Structure 1
Amino acid sequence: MTLTAILVEDEYLAREELKYLIGKYSDIEIKAEFGDGLEALQYLQLHTVDVAFLDINLPSINGMVLAKSLYNFKTPPKLIFTTAYKEHAADAFEIEAFDYILKPFTENRVKKSLDKLGVDSLTESGPITNKESLNLYLGDRIRMVDVSDIIFAAANGKTTDVQTIHGLFTSPLMLSDLIEKYEQGNFFKAHRSYWVNLDKIEEIIPWASATYRLKMHNSDTLIPVSRSNIKAFRQRLAL
């Protein structure tokens, strides 16, 4: 089934460019276009679409307020923010935005987001299902990374360093919040400051007081397994 979308962007040229790129790289059907946040909200109260492309600086109500309103809908659309302001990214992650594209648009960046939507597209038997991925920082850039590609995550104050098979990134979430949002599969909190992918362990090294250090894939960092977590760790790995 073809995905449906709305565009919420008050800059005509930006809206036309985004519409062109969507048409070039996907078969998404654009059901409506708005330059005003309130008009978009009124439309979505009566109509259901799969995706909403949202600017943040909008008349009436801004894109972030609109997104938070949609989050409470029974069947909310996936939200893809399109904005020139990277400082809103952390707020976008908090409301589980599907993606966050910075202006000025590049074809490759928009295509990547559309490709991701294609993987998560509708099936004949039901609605969109979310691919388990998260958005991470690398400087000013934002990269979408599958959760299964995480090697380990390490607390770093109010943010988290995330080592992946693609390199080292930063999440604006604290480690505890990251674990709560993305806990799945074969992950384990080895230490209060470390969350590891058990599938990415290369070596388990015996350490003092009957504990371990973990040598992880593609990393020289040795991850400690705290004494309080040893029993659970052994049970998980049948040691």
Structure 2
Amino acid sequence: MLQGFIVEDEQFAREELKYLLTETGDIEIVGDAETMHEALWGINDLQPDVVFLDIELAKGNGLELAKQFMHMKKQPMIVFATAYDEYALEAFNLDAVDYIVKPIDEARLRKTVDKLLTRAQFQRERKTHKRSQTQGIKTIPAKDGGRMIIVQADEIYSIGTENRQTFIKTAHHKYESDLLLYQLIEKLGEDFLQVHRGYIVNVKHVSAIEPWFNRAYNLFLKDGSTVPVSRSFAKNVMQKLGFK
């Protein structure tokens, strides 16, 4: 399932699009915004997979907003949903996955979602291929109180965030790190898997997985700890563990 964010200044249109996307079963709307300022803040914070953008906003322009995505570390896929058809060429020049003209038809939206799923799968495979070319870094710098230490990657069970602080957990210790999760997942090898927006696990230390609720899961690690798996990461996690 992909995580989506809607930028639309008309409440009725925003709620309708949210309903239609949720009904597809493949898009989870994690946030929405009416203005460019709200959108930039929300997208940077939530890091959705795809942003559904209106073009003519009361306070701003969707095309200008989309240009700013190129400066983000995680660039979301873009779908324009607008009442105007004359901006299509410019939209596709911004690498938009699709351009939908309102009123939105359910069958047409289904095709858009299928395009998004195909693009997302391609991106995952490309990223996996790149990561498989290297075993990743062997050590990570961390802090233990006032000491600066080196943690062996193989000894890491999980990595998470609490109150905007990154923590690295081994079998017997918990260390602080100045690195963010997206920086760590790019540096670590293929044994490390992001299972939640706030967690990474070393699959070598996973002992079990069980369904939780709303298509989410709990991972059990060999040290007795548990890590949540959000439903947006669940399919990839199950495939990585060999269950699907």
Scaled by the length of structure 1, the TM-score of the pair is 0.49
